[in-house]
Amino acid sequence: MTVEVTRLNSGLAIVTDAMPHLETASLGVWAGCGSRDEQADEHGIAHLLEHMAFKGTSRRSARQIAEEIEAVGGDINAATSAETTAYYARMLREDVPLALDILSDILADPTFDPLELAREKNVIVQEIGATEDAPDELVYDYLQTVAFPGQSVGRSILGTPETVRSFDSARLRTYLDRNYRAPDMVVVAAGAVEHVRIVEEASRRFASFNGPVAPVPEPARFSGGARIEVRDLEQAHIACALEGVSLGDDQLYSLQVFTNVLGGGMSSRLFQEIREKRGLCYAIYAFHAPYADTGLFGIYAGTDAADVPELMNVVVSEIGEAADSVTEVEIARAKAQMKAGLLMALESSGARAEQIARQMIAFGRPIPLEEVVAKVDAVTIESARAAGRALIARSRPAVAVLGPGRGLERAAVIAESLGRRAA
């Protein structure tokens, strides 16, 4: 690997991954905070702050921010998740200093102009409305709430129209000052970059970020349960979850392999049994989302409301059977998929930068590709089965269903049989 790391006295980490064959660079600032770091009365403020960062500084208006980066052919964007917030750009190698200047400017010196704030709050309310009109997205918000009730990690990232409209510039600055601290932030650049130059630029431009480590959010507490909502839709959208494992858990890679075998592609058990053999759905897949201290293993499917009981019975059966009968062939195929995905991602400077940033925030160091591949290769049939059995035994299922007609609650009743199987 060509990764170099420098940590400043302030605690800010600066990491580069040079890709000499490129003429462009991807770079960004990742903060180790997100919606999970919100207080009870701050629901949606992390996402609003991400939006407002682009709405003007003392030196640049919102329009100037957009025009300066696009005038050199670059682009700039941001994203908020439960545990991280990212501000990133891509541009030609000679314009890297400009990108760093803009990124530091929008984070260190946002004006939070009241008129811009009012407009952007309305934009986010429209975004919330768009999610309400997309049941295949909304069902995930419902699932998160059922899985982690009464906790920041269980709330939607967008917030609600009421909470978003309640925020003012003072509230934004309070959240920013509390959570954007140098020890919890990382500047990453990949592509046509030189480490020494990035360190020089970042050291100067991000000097205002200092202070101790930000407060740690409350520990996650997974809870089973169900949320069933009848809506006038063409399909029933089902999301079912069990408590997964954290980023640092020894079972992480074994559970990821188990997840791929179960629902990671067209050859997976769920796809073959439910779509190909029975024709019960168009889309079905399994996923595992690890957090700092827990994880969320889930399955999504969209089906006709009349087919919900049969589909859920097959899902429960396949999860249980996979935990007992995953084969060497399936393990090998899942591991090949994971390794190919890792290698394909590394062909993109943006994907490299994001991967390094997430590793730095989670583990405090970039993880060499060889180390990740070795952990994937170390998964055995025994460890994958053990991860599946532990998954079933760990928690009561959480279920969210959106769809038409009666009888949708059968999905939750059937999912509960997983717990009885474990017992």
Query: Among all residues, which ones are annotated catalytic?
Result: 50
Whole-Å CA distances, 295 to 3, 262, 288: 28, 17, 7
Cβ-Cβ contacts under 8 Å for 204 (sequence gap 6 or more): none
Residue 272 in tokens: 């073959």
**Phi/psi at 348 (5° precision):** -110, 130
d(CA 387, CA 253): 9
With contact defined as beta carbons under 8 Å apart, do 293 and 246 qualify? yes
Mapping DSSP onto H, E and C, the string for 341-394 reads: HHHHHCCCHHHHHHHHHHHHHHHCCCCCHHHHHHHHHCCCHHHHHHHHHHHHHH
Whole-Å CA distances, 255 to 39, 242, 355, 384: 32, 12, 20, 6
CA angle 333/336/340 to nearest 5° reads 145
Give, for 290, the enclosing helix (H) or strand (E): strand 284-290
| Nearest-10 crossing angle of helices 96-108, 62-70 | 160
d(CA 175, CA 78): 17
d(CA 387, CA 381): 10
Distance from chain centroid for Cα 234: 28
With contact defined as beta carbons under 8 Å apart, do 258 and 388 qualify? yes
Closest alpha carbon to 376 in 260, 284, 264: 260
For residue 280, the SS3 value is: coil
**22, burial (CB in 10 Å: exposed 0-12, middle 13-18, buried 19+):** middle
